[in-house]
Amino acid sequence: MKMIRICLCTVMFLLGSVTMGSNVFADETHNHEEMSSKSETEKKESVSSPTDNLTIKNVKRLEYSMPENAPADLVNLYLKAGWEWNKELNYMFKDVLYEDETVNINGIDYVTDAEGEVSTKISVRDGSSKVEVSSDNYDTNPVSIKAEKNDEPKQVSVKPGEQKEVVLLEEINLDTMIDRMDEMNGQKIDTENTLTTNKFIATPLGKQDSHHFEVLLMASKKGDTVTCNRYNGPWGNNTYYSKTANPVMAARNFLWSDCDQALVWHVQCLKDYGPAKYRYCAWDPTTKRGKCSGLIGHSKKFHAH
């Protein structure tokens, strides 16, 4: 009996040792897995954390001058359509952001995303980093043929640990663009269109003589050919008016026209500042007529809203 008890105790002791060893091994394995899991999580968090510390927002500010003593309802129409009013200087403005525009950072070109932004990592040394940034400048006043880099890049400083945001702002004078749209291969409108005809008289630019040209350019009825549907807004009468001769009606007809809508989303329209042969919308060649309307899925022929 004593020998059996001793044997049983020995067996129990050995089983207990095995169980204890197994528990220790299991604990060590669990701790190792937990540490591995924690390490992987930390790695993921490290990878997903933002590394860009410089964001450039490339803003084009569309500006449209209001008539002197503009009617209150006209001002309210623009405000309700998302424009802001610089009351002191009497012009409406709207900030737009274009995709695929070039922004230069320290000599390297980047392309804006759908939000009109570029982001990048700037190496910060010696406590601060001087950065030069610039964007395509359409230089709309005076008129230019194509976009060029700003002559003087903007200098900014990025400090250690700082998330720097910089806004590049260019003012786009729509009055200038519309004036250019009223020119036809070097000819400038002399009299405005009327409801009774879509013909008007144009004179050569820079000349004060008796030569006149009859040009088919402006339209007032559906299906007519136009260079750009820039006076078919829903709060006007779908008739072209000179912005100088009749600024109130010109402003009513422009608001929410195809041209107004296209300018918000498509940078191509800014090419219409240049001479006719470089424009996006133009009378010649015929393939350029009403192209801004095509950008927003509308008919390229004249149509009312």
pLDDT, tens digit, 9 for 90 and up, residues 168-178: 998 888 887 77
- Nearest partner of 291 among 269, 267, 273, 264, judged by Cα: 269
Give residue 152's pLDDT.
Answer: 72
Please give the C-alpha separations between residue 131 and each of 123, 162, 264, in angstroms, as whole numbers. Answer: 10, 13, 30
Cβ burial of 185 (10 Å; 0-12, 13-18, 19+) is: middle
Secondary structure E strands in the chain: 54-65, 84-86, 91-97, 102-105, 108-111, 117-120, 129-137, 148-149, 154-158, 164-173, 183-184, 187-189, 199-204, 213-216
At 7-36, the pLDDT tens digits run 434 444 444 554 544 454 445 555 555 545
What is the rounded average pLDDT of the residues 275-293?
Answer: 81
Distance CA 283, CA 218 (A): 10
User: Please, what is the Cα angle at 93 between 87 and 96, to 5 degrees?
Assistant: 155
Q: Is 62 helix (H, G, I), strand (E, B) or coil?
A: strand
| Structure confidence at residue 40 (pLDDT) | 52
Burial 281-299 (b: 16+ CB within 10 A, else e): bbbeeeebbbbbbebeebe
In the predicted model, is pLDDT for residue 135 greater than 50?
A: yes
- How much is the average pLDDT of 281-305? 89
Does the structure show a pLDDT above 70 at 189? no
The pLDDT of residue 44 is 43
Average pLDDT value over all residues in the chain: 74
What DSSP line would sit under 185-234, residue for residue?
A: TTEEESS--BTTBSEEEEEETT--SS--EEEE----STT---S---S--T
List the single range of 90-104, 141-155, 204-218 with lowest mean pLDDT: 204-218
Q: Mean pLDDT across the stretch 228-238?
A: 91
Residue 180: name the closest of 261, 269, 247, 93 by CA. 269
Q: Answer whether residue 54 shows pLDDT above 50.
A: yes
Roughly what angle, to the nearest 10 degrees, separates helices 247-254 and 72-80? 20
Residues 239, 249 contacting (CB under 8 angstroms): yes
Q: Which has the higher per-residue pLDDT, 61 or 205?
A: 61
How many other C-beta atoms lie within 10 A of the C-beta of residue 173?
19
Q: Is 48 helix (H, G, I), strand (E, B) or coil?
A: helix
Residue 49's pLDDT is what? 47
Q: Give the pLDDT confidence score for residue 88 in this predicted structure.
A: 94
Q: What's the average model confidence in pLDDT over 138-144?
A: 53
